[in-house]
Chain A
Amino acid sequence: MPNRTSQTEHSNIKKALARTLAELFGDDRVAANDEEIDRTADALRRVHRLSASTQIRSAQASNS
């Protein structure tokens, strides 16, 4: 079960996606449905949360 912070993040990402879709394709022509937007928002939240720190650490190690 996502916690409150995750739910807020998810909701914000979802709103941003829906807004950008409407701006790009026009409100009445968007084929993307709520489920598609919802699942994509969840994916973006998860990717955002995952740490890519190993990349940074290995870059630091090779530079030191």
Chain B
Amino acid sequence: MSQLIDRVRRSLNAIQRDEESLRAWAHVNAERALDHAYLIEDMLSQGLDLPVGGMTIGVKDIVNVAGMPTSAGFAPWVENVAQDDAAVIRRLRRAGVVIMGKTVTTQFAASDPAETRNPWNLDCTPGGSSSGSAVAVAAQHVDVALGTQTAGSILRPAAYCGVIGFKPTFGAIPTDGMLAYAPSFDTLGMLARSVADIFRVYFASIDAQPDAPIEQSLPSPRIGIWADALAHAGESMRDAVIDAIEQLAQSGAQVFDAICPLAFDNAVAIHRTIVRPEAAIVHAENLACHPEHYGPKLRATIEVGSVIPASAYAKAQFLRNEYRAMIERHWSSFDLIAIPTTSTTAPTRDTTGDHDLQAFASLFGFPALTIPIGFDRDQLPIGLQLIAPRRGADEHLLRHALWVEQFMPQMPLPPYASEPGE
């Protein structure tokens, strides 16, 4: 049996073994995944150039994969089989990925917790909304999983589950074939266990070639520490992040204080004032048809979004554009802004966690990445968030993240994931 087929079989076995405890998968079709692997194997043996040939992926269940259901965690849509691939899936298929299935999302990528468990502690949330994607990567079911972020839905679950999460610049990856939540912010991205894997899948997703070989990192970044955001995190998170940044400074990074022209709480307010009305518009008709199937948090979001005045929404959009330009100028000398990814480590499963610290990059469309830097005293992972404070600096951020990664701990297999290879 070839290496790829063997790997896919082992992943399918691990998914099956872990599903009862972790509940990361909404849909898996083993036969199709194997057929796909044989096809990729054949293409690779013919010497075809496939940039991500043989990488296994899970796809968040709000992104269409032809022939698989797009259920979005919504009971009436359990058998809602997609006829066509989303644009990003078409690109990734051409580049050679093996699609293992659809990963669990919170309902419509909002805040009502899904059934998925955190593989570091089953009583903790894996975060949301890309819950299944983060768990599938942490449990080594797949190499990479696609996620989406409107506030913090890639970075937060990635941090809670101890994997790397990347939210590219808003609009970098086409969202055709993906369910909307708040179209001003909805962004496709990916989660993986290495920056190099993120890099490869990101470039396949934007259908482009990087400027230099993937292995080429950008050393010695100029890092800004934003104290206003740091203050939003708990003490142990702040200490862990400061320790990690000190380690980077000792390794050659230049570290400075970064003053933001916009107060942290005001950034969160602008984000909230835009997201809620957009979610209300997206969901108005469906909620009217199926009110009993909506989660209480999403329903509350939609209701409140319906009564936010148009003038407040319009002003928030003005402010967003104005402050983005100001921040891009103000922070132009920084390669990275470093802040904690989350305010705490993974809380209990009655919430998906606090999204405020991740919402800043979402608000302005900046690329952002979270990388694991260790554990708290309960052995739950901690993430460091790196933001490139200008749109379009995705490759720049990824190359700096390659450099940062070498100084950070290698994450072990979580205790509630089964050993791969069995």
Contacts and interface: CB of A to CB of B under 8 A. Distances in A.
Interface stretch (B176-184, B219-227, B314-322): B314-322
Interface in A31-64: 31-33, 36-37, 39-40, 42-48, 50, 52, 54-55
Nearest to A19: B307
A40 B316 contact: no
Contacts, number: 67
Given A31-B296, A47-B312, A47-B316, A40 B272 contact: yes
A21 B318 contact: no
B312 A48 contact: yes
B322 A17 contact: no
A19 to B, nearest CB: 9
A31 to B, nearest CB: 4
B308 interface: yes
Q: How would you classify the secondary structure of chain B's contact residues: helix, strand, loop or mixed?
A: helix
Given A32-B304, A39-B272, A46-B269, A55 B322 contact: yes
B23 interface: no
Contacts of A45: 269
A40 to B, nearest CB: 5
Nearest to B305: A40
Contacts of A55: 318, 322
Interface in B234-281: 265-266, 268-270, 272-273, 276
Interface of B: 265-266, 268-270, 272-273, 276, 296, 299-301, 303-304, 306-309, 312, 315-316, 318-319, 322, 326
The 4 closest A-B pairs by CB, nearest first: A46-B269, A43-B269, A31-B299, A32-B300
B266 A46 contact: yes
B316 to A, nearest CB: 5
A52 B301 contact: no
A24 interface: yes
A20 B307 contact: yes
A31 B303 contact: yes
Contacts of B309: 44
